[in-house]
Amino acid sequence: MNAQDVIFLEGLEVPCRVGCTVEERRVPQSLRVEVKLFCGSISRAAQNDSLEDTVDYRLGLDLISVLQNREFLLIERVAEILAAEALKVPIVEQVQITVRKRPPVQGMEIVGVQILRSRA
């Protein structure tokens, strides 16, 4: 794959019920999500000033909504679901998802996971 151009969504605050215990999942936590969308080329979108040839930033709303009304034990699962949703965008060939959260472990500020997935 020769993906060269990257569109990114940074600083997504995603409310999500995630955690290994029932207590941790009781109240939605705010996850911090970063998304890098690797596209073959976005030059056609630039030349034509065409939204149809690029990624609509409203994808961020889709990423938030795909997690709503669900519970997860692991942020690893959250990252996989987000990657699958992002790969539904036709121009996206590969996606990198980073999910960060504040753990319920004393003395630890942030934990996270980062995955890289490609279109099958």
- The pLDDT profile of the chain, 120 residues, written as one tens digit per residue, is 454 899 999 999 999 999 999 998 999 999 999 999 999 888 888 899 988 888 999 999 999 999 999 999 999 999 999 999 999 999 999 999 999 998 877 888 899 999 999 987
Burial class of residue 62, CB neighbours in 10 A (0-12, 13-18, 19+): middle
Q: Which backbone phi and psi does 16 adopt, to 5 degrees?
A: -155, 140
pTM, full prediction = 0.91
Question: Which structural domains are found in the chain, ordered by start?
Answer: 5-118 (3.30.1130.10)
Contacts of 37 (CB under 8 A, 6+ apart): 6, 7, 8, 9, 55, 59, 86, 89, 91, 92, 94, 95
